[in-house]
Structures are given as structure tokens and as C-alpha cells.
Chain A
Amino acid sequence: MLTSEQIADRLERILLTVQKPGRYVGGELNQVEKDWDKVETRVALAFPDIYDIGLSNLGLAIFYENLNKRWDVLAERAYAPWSDMEEAMRSTGIPLYSLESKHALSDFDILAFTLPYESIYTNVLNMLDLSGVPIFTKDRNTKHPLVIAGGHAAFNPEPMYAFIDAFAIGEGEELFDEIVDVYQAWKRSGQNRPALLQQLAMISGIYVPSLYETTYRDDGTIDSFTPLQPDVPLTIQKRIVGHLPPPPTKPIVPLINTVQNRVAVEIMRGCARGCRFCHAGMVNRPVRERPVAEVLEAITASLDNSGFEEVALLSLSSSDYTHILDLIQQVSDRFKGENLRISLPSLRIESLSIDLLEMLRENRSGGFTLAPEAATEHMRNIINKPIQTQQLLDVAGEIYSRGWTTIKLYFMIGHPSETLEDVKAIAEVCKKVLAEGQKALGRKSKLHVGVNTFVPKPHTPFQWVSCDTVEQMRTKQHYLKNALKIPGIKLNWSDPYETIFESLLSRGDRRTANAIFDAWQHGARFDAWREYFNYQTWQTAFTENGLMPEFYTNRERGLDEHLPWEHIRIGVHKSFLADEYQRSQSGILRSYCREHCHACGILSDYRDLRRENPGDAWKCPEVRSSVPEQSVEIQIKAIK
């Protein structure tokens, strides 16, 4: 393999031939450079999409800062090269390298991929290939880096089981350190690679797929999932931190324009709203908030360290953060006159107050985004997002009247219980929202409507349901396109084949891995990019491996079916999900669980952690045991 000097030298000869060469050189402010030879363990943090998108990834930023704080570890970064750079690298023999020291990725001890969504799986394969690391875990030996992965998509690790040595399930703040510790102990002991994998499997939250075997029934469903060795755990419980550690404060400041150039501070983790389609809402429980003072301190330090002109306060539902008004007020006061933009993505219609709108008004930029998702009570009850049309119209009116000229609304079509009436209602609601804008601003008001298509996700109450066929999606989209041909309204929709593709991989099993490999071999990569995505490649890859795409997409599963991700435990119990699924079929809502605990399973699975973090560190309400209530009832009956 080439040395880092040789790589740097060859880079100089190709960089001016590719677009945006600044993606490939590192050297940014707050990049950490350590002496390669003076650390015990070298970790490459790899993001399987281009630099422009990956740089702002908060997960990687956390690991980068945490790992580099250790004296015995260095962490460097790598991103997927765009096709022009890939071609230039392959033709000049440059392997995939880290931006900091320009070492080939194959020289690292640990290669860690983040998997935020399924459509970057082929990029992982491509990056392994460009690194000269065998693509299949079975082909790697002690000389190769340990390949690990985590992130949201890893909650169903099975489609990638053949390529990843070990998956980290859940939150990595503590877990990553434990992986490094085990790796170091193993390396010092001089044992073989199987020993490493076995020791990793003993860490809570680590899943080593090669230590398990899946068998299938004739109908294609899973018959059994069993450990191949007696001492590995039967199930893998996701890891969480009981208390959110202080956020990172040394953001890397890119030398080129990227997608998000800003300080991002996570104010809250998890969401208690319980929308039934929402993967993030299910897998990130429980809700934990950071104290205002800690957020403020992190913003101040990050701005001092970066000079960024924007700060984003991130969470799944920022207006649900208990002290949101106080926080925004304090941030605005502290940075008054410094031309700082404050952005607050993911605002909930129910918790969006007039006071909050007033505060955001000062630094409004572009549009205001809301996600009502459904337009009829029928659908709202099914997905458990009960936002009344009048409520939406009131909020929209308040937004337009405060000078925002554009509102962006996100809707979802494609749930199997959806009727054309539900779709028609979307168009009606959109017209009413625009009318609110016209009342306030006249013809200046605009409405952007994003209509996404529902993809059933693992670990959600909809993990059993079928997704729409391409024809069904087309019919619904066609209706909306016609109904919303209105001046002032702009409509966006998702390509049905992209939805089918996402649906294929998100509920895939181990057999899907072969299809992913074949698709990559036939040129699939950057599947999240419209200019690259080719459904034909995927369909061929599935059918050539004897797999029916419809088996994964358009099939309703029975509640008793063994699902491919069943051994991954997110704390929310399957029985709760099943109950939610049945409630959705009867159109029964489930209330906001901050007000009343519905016993999803989190508090019983993480009982000890909750005990160590009492009070309002978690936003789970105190649970009153139901047994005494019952006995009171019985007594009353007895008296009667």
C-alpha cells in the first residue's frame, strides 16, 4: 500500500482535474492531527456519502472529538469520493485515504462507518473496495482493519451482515470507547481475528453477525435465528446513555461551501409523540433534554472555535423542548448584534406558540417548515398524528402574517389504509393554507408542498404493513399534481421507484446482502442521488439472487412472523408495537407519552439506568403501578 507521502504526492497531480477538489484535502480549522506512530489505536471514521453532506454529521463529530481526546487513540475522517474522483483515484492507484494524515484506510486499526439511511449501502462497499479492504467480513484476517458500523439504519443490520464485522446498536458515546478498549486488549494479546469478534460480542450493544445463523421456511420467512456459539447473547439490547454528555464544541470548519455550514447543538434526544410511521421516534427513546445552560455554553464555545454565522438547535421535535422559549431568548440576548442566525428545524404544530414565532421572526430566512403528514382525521388517527386542520390553518396564518412568505408543508401518502379521499383532502388543506397566506400577504405568499411516500420501517408499529405499489403511488401523485396546479403552490413528490427501493432495503434480511453486493458490482452507488439511482440494477440484483422484491415491499406480515431484526432490541417492546399496530387499524389514538406513560418498554428495559438518573433527566413521567389502582377498583366493587 502507498505511504501517506506517496498518496499526497499523487493527489497533487489529479486534484485539479476533479470538481470541488477542496473535498479531498482536509486541512480545515479544528481538524485534529496526531502523531501516527505515537498512538496505540488508529480509527477511521467513514461517512458513505460525499464530504459536502457528511461533514455536518453530528454523530461523527461526537466520535471525532471523543476519540481524539484519548491520548492512546487517533481518529481521522474519510468520505465517499464523487465519481470523477473515484475514477481519478482508481486510474492513478490512489487508495481511499484519511483526510488528516493521508494514510490509506487499510492502514487503520478500526474502520467505522455510519449508516444513517439505507441508500448508502453500496457506497460502503465501494469505499471498502477503494480502500483495498476485502468487502466480505469472511475474507478479512488479522492484517485488515476491524470494520464496524452504527447509526439509524443499523437497527436492522441484516442486509449488511456480510460486510460489517460488528454493529454498534444505539448510542455510541460510551460504546465506542468500549470497542476500542476491547480491541486494544485483543491486539496486545496477539490472538486471532475470531477471538476479537467473540470478545466484541460480549459488549452490551454489539452485534457480531458472523456468530449467528438464520434459517428460512419454504415460504421465505425466517424459521430460526440462532447463535453459533453457546456464550453469545441471544438478543442485542441497544445502548443508550442515561445522561446526555456535553455536546462537542470544536466543529470542523470546511474550506469549501458544504450543505450545512453551521454550529449544530443537539438540545434533546428522542421524541415522545409516538407517530406510528416514525423510525426515529421509536428507536431514540427515551426523551432526554440538555439543560439550557449547557446548550448555551456549547453554543458559545462552538462559535468561539469556529466563527460560524449560524447555529442550529437540533432535536426530533424542537418546540417540545421544555425550555424552548427561555433558550431562544437567551441565545438571542447573548449574541445580539453579532449577525448570528438561529435555526430551529423540526417544529411541531401543536407546540408552536405565538411567543416562539415572535422570537424566530427576527432571524427568519426563507420558508417555514411544518409536517402535518395527513389531511383527514381518518389518516391522522391511523398514524397517530392528530393535528386538526383548523390548528394548522391558525398556525399558518400566524406564520404568514409575521412576514414569512413561504410555508413548506410535508405530507405523506402511501399507507395501505389510505383512500383517495384522504389524498384529495391533502389538496384541499393545501389550498386553505395558501388562502391564509393570501389573506396576510396577498399574492406574495407561497406554499411548497412536499409529498413523500410512506416506507414501512423496522421497529415501528407499521413494520408489518405493506407499502403501496408503483401504480398506487402514481395514481395518488397524479391526482395531487392535477389538483395542485395552482399559482403560488409548488409540489414535490418522491419517485415511486426510490420509495420501493428504500422499502426493499429497510426491511431486508440476510439474503438481501447478496443483492446489495451484485447491485454494487453492476455499478450501483450513490443510490440516494437521483442522477445515479437506477431501479433496474436493483431489480435484476434481487431476481438474480432468487428474491422477489414484492416479498419485502408489498407483503403484509403476520404478527407471529419472525422479523429479520427481531434480535435487535430497542427498548420499545414488540408487544407494544403490535398493540399500536392494532390500535392504528381501529383508528385509536395514543396520547403524548410525556403526560402519561403507556409502558412502551423503555422504563422496564432500562430500569437501572433510570434509577441512576432520577428526576426530570428523562422526560418519562413517573409510573404509578397499575396494581394498586386495580385493587382499589375491586374494593369499590366489593363495597357496592
Chain B
Amino acid sequence: MIRIRITYAKMGWLKYTSNLDVQKLWERALRRARLPLAYSQGYHPKPRMNLAAPLPLGFTSSAELIDIWFTEEISTSEIQKRLIGMFPPGIRIQKTVQVDLSEASLQSLVAAGEYNIQLLIDLSIEELESKVATVLRSASLIRTRRGKEYDLRPLIEDLQIINDKLLAIRLTMRPKATGRPEELLNALQIDPNEACIERTAIFLAVSS
């Protein structure tokens, strides 16, 4: 058994495909490629794979992470080669590495996410700067999600204005401490429907 970690992009119309359905895309691509995908034991065997962090519907991503288990030794370059042309348009493999079988699960390693936010509305650079400054100056930003209050402010690790149409942000992403880009937009008083959000990196904590 080997464990492979793949970095991939999810672009275009695929942004309307949910995480559960993305797992299906992976399973089918691996089956088509006739790669020795490992299945769980039991009456309804399930392919052994793990996504790092759910990507909200409507977001694109240039840096998703998935761990996949194979029953046979196979080189990362062979995997990458065999997966060419196996996906619908929108999935692109960026990087394939082997990781230790004993490493903790991807989900438990996730520490932060980086996003580019493309604004569809017209704001002057001054307006944008003032909105960002207000947010960064706040000691706390209490938001409510699913009936629970939480403070968004400490989850904002970075917030930069690239130009009047583009923000680059980094938010904490740990269990029970997940910063969401659309919540940040709400805090900036920008309608999330007026923005295109792309995840550009997932940071993992260094595993022991």
C-alpha cells in the first residue's frame, strides 16, 4: 500500500460541483486510468481517498489537495502520466508526491488557506483601502454562522489589496477555527455574489 498526495486545480464550470461529487470524479478518473486504487473493506467498499478541506460551491481553486491510497507500488510520474485526459475539463494535476502511510490525515494537518478575491463591482482604490483598514483596525469581528457566534478577526492572517479589483487573503483553517472568505467579504461590506473567489494555497502544519 502506498499513499500519494496530489495537488490539483479545480477551475471553470467545475466550481458548481460539490466536494462529494469531486470525490466521485477522482474515483472514476482513477478507475479509467486503471490505477490500483485501494478500497475499504466491507459490504460496500469505498475508495480510500481524502480531500484536505472542503471548497465551497462557487469557488475555483488552483491548489486543492487530495490523498489517495494505492494497493501497489507505482511511481508518482506514472500516476501523473496515466491520469492525463481522464478528467472532465477543469481538473488539472499540478503535483504528485508520495507521503508516509503513518502521516496524520490531511484534514487534521490543514492550517490555513490563501485566496484571491476578484471583485466584480466598481470600487475606487480609496474606498477599498478604507474598508480594509476598518476591518484590520477592529479588535474583534463577531459573526454568526449556523446560529453560533465566533470572532473572525483573529482568523485573518493576511489581507492585502493588490489592485482595485483584486484582494489576496490568508485565513486560518483549523478545526473549529475556519475563516471563510465570504464572511470576510461581508465584514468588508462587499456582497459575496459580486466577487469571484479562488483558493490559491492550502497550508499544512508540519507533521511530526
Binding site for B on A (CB under 8 A): 13, 15-17, 21-22, 24-29, 31, 253, 255-257, 261, 303-309, 338-339, 365
| Residue ID in chain B nearest A304 by CB atoms | B32
| Binding-face segment, B17-25, B138-146, B152-160 | B17-25
Interface of chain B residues 46 through 90 with chain A (CB within 8 A): 57-58, 86-90
> Are B32's CB and A255's CB within 8 A?
no
User: Hey, which chain B residues are within 8 Å of A365, CB to CB?
Assistant: 44
User: Hey, which chain A residues are within 8 Å of B27, CB to CB?
Assistant: 307, 309
> Are B18's CB and A256's CB within 8 A?
yes
> Are B39's CB and A307's CB within 8 A?
no
> Are A339's CB and B21's CB within 8 A?
no
| Residue ID in chain B nearest A256 by CB atoms | B21
User: Hey, which chain A residues are within 8 Å of B90, CB to CB?
Assistant: 27
Interface of chain B residues 1 through 58 with chain A (CB within 8 A): 12-14, 16-18, 20-21, 24-25, 27-32, 39, 44-45, 57-58
26 contacts between A and B (CB under 8 A): A16-B57, A16-B193, A21-B57, A21-B58, A22-B18, A24-B16, A27-B13, A27-B14, A28-B88, A29-B87, A255-B25, A256-B16, A256-B18, A256-B21, A257-B21, A257-B24, A306-B28, A306-B32, A307-B31, A307-B32, A307-B86, A308-B28, A308-B31, A309-B28, A339-B39, A339-B45
| Residue ID in chain A nearest B89 by CB atoms | A27
User: Hey, which chain A residues are within 8 Å of B13, CB to CB?
Assistant: 25-27, 255
Most-contacted residue by chain A among B13, B86, B87, B90 (CB, 10 A): B13
Most-contacted residue by chain B among A13, A27, A28, A304 (CB, 10 A): A27
Residue in A24, A31, A307 whose CB lies within 8 Å of B30 = A307
Bound form: Cα–Cα A25–B12 in Å: 10
> Are A305's CB and B32's CB within 8 A?
yes
Binding site for A on B (CB under 8 A): 12-14, 16-18, 20-21, 24-25, 27-32, 39, 44-45, 57-58, 86-90, 193
User: Hey, which chain A residues are within 8 Å of B17, CB to CB?
Assistant: 22, 255-256
Residue in A13, A29, A303 whose CB lies within 8 Å of B88 = A29
Bound form: Cα–Cα A257–B27 in Å: 13
| Residue ID in chain B nearest A17 by CB atoms | B193
Bound form: Cα–Cα A355–B81 in Å: 43
Bound form: Cα–Cα A245–B136 in Å: 67
User: Hey, which chain A residues are within 8 Å of B30, CB to CB?
Assistant: 307
**A-B interface, 6 closest residue pairs, ranked by CB to CB distance from nearest:** A307-B28, A307-B32, A307-B31, A27-B13, A25-B13, A21-B16
Bound form: Cα–Cα A31–B89 in Å: 10
**How far apart are B119's CB and chain A's nearest CB, in angstroms?**
14
> Are A253's CB and B45's CB within 8 A?
no
Known pairs A21-B58, A22-B16, A26-B13; list 5 more (Cβ under 8 Å).
A13-B193, A24-B16, A27-B12, A307-B28, A309-B27
> Are B88's CB and A16's CB within 8 A?
no
Residue in A13, A29, A255, A308 whose CB lies within 8 Å of B16 = A255
| Residue ID in chain A nearest B20 by CB atoms | A257
> Are A253's CB and B28's CB within 8 A?
yes
